[in-house]
């Protein structure tokens, strides 16, 4: 016995519509889930892209800060080269004496005036040496200029006092008694 089902046109139409509705509902559900998943992935991608942009901005800022730090360290290294350590300061005064002999400036006396403890939080201390000089004004200026411009260490002349050896009008080239403080700063080793 062969089993055969004969459907009427109406039954065929109803079954076709039912199958079409089931397939359509399945496709609709699949598309809904796919679109929802796609939107979730887009949101996640936007979030990750924002994080990447934030990290790039931070990396750029970090690079800029590192460049500034490198430049400041280089500048500080240059400054520290100009600050002699404690052991070099007497040698520096000897070099000044040698330059004075060539100027011609007569350096009569050089003695340490101060060099006390540094100010709290400062990485250097001031060293001050008093000098008595006999020279004419032009030789003195050449001497000071040579020391300040040609020494590899920071040196300044402070509290300059010039006294004429004779009163009244002073002829050109006359020697004067000069008192000056020679200042330098030394780097504090830590």
Instruction: Give 175's pLDDT tier (boundaries 50, 70, 90).
Output: confident
Give the pLDDT score at 168: 65
pLDDT of the residue at 120: 57
Bridge partners of 187?
Answer: 124
- How high is the mean pLDDT of the chain? 82
Quote the pLDDT of residue 133.
Answer: 87
Model pLDDT, residue 3: 62
Query: pLDDT tens for residues 4-55?
Result: 677 788 888 888 899 999 999 999 999 999 999 999 999 999 999 999 999 9
Which pLDDT value is given to residue 93?
Answer: 77
């Amino acid at each position: 016995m062969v089993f055969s089902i004969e459907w009427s046109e109406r039954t065929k139409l109803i079954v076709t519509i039912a199958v079409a509705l089931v397939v359509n509902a399945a496709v609709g559900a699949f598309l809904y889930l796919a679109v929802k998943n796609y939107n979730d992935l887009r949101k996640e991608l936007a979030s990750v892209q924002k994080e990447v942009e934030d990290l790039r901005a931070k990396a750029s800022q970090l690079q800029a800060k590192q460049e500034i730090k490198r430049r400041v360290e280089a500048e500080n290294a240059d400054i520290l080269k100009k600050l002699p350590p404690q052991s070099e300061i007497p040698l520096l005064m000897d070099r000044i004496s040698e330059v004075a002999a060539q100027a011609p400036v007569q350096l009569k006396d050089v003695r340490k005036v101060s060099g006390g403890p540094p100010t709290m939080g400062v990485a250097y201390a001031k060293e001050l040496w008093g000098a008595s000089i006999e020279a004419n004004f032009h030789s003195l200026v050449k001497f000071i200029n040579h020391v300040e411009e040609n020494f590899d260490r920071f040196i300044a002349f402070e509290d300059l006092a010039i006294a004429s050896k004779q009163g009244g009008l002073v002829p050109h080239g006359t020697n004067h008694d000069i008192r000056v403080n020679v200042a330098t700063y030394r780097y504090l080793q830590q």
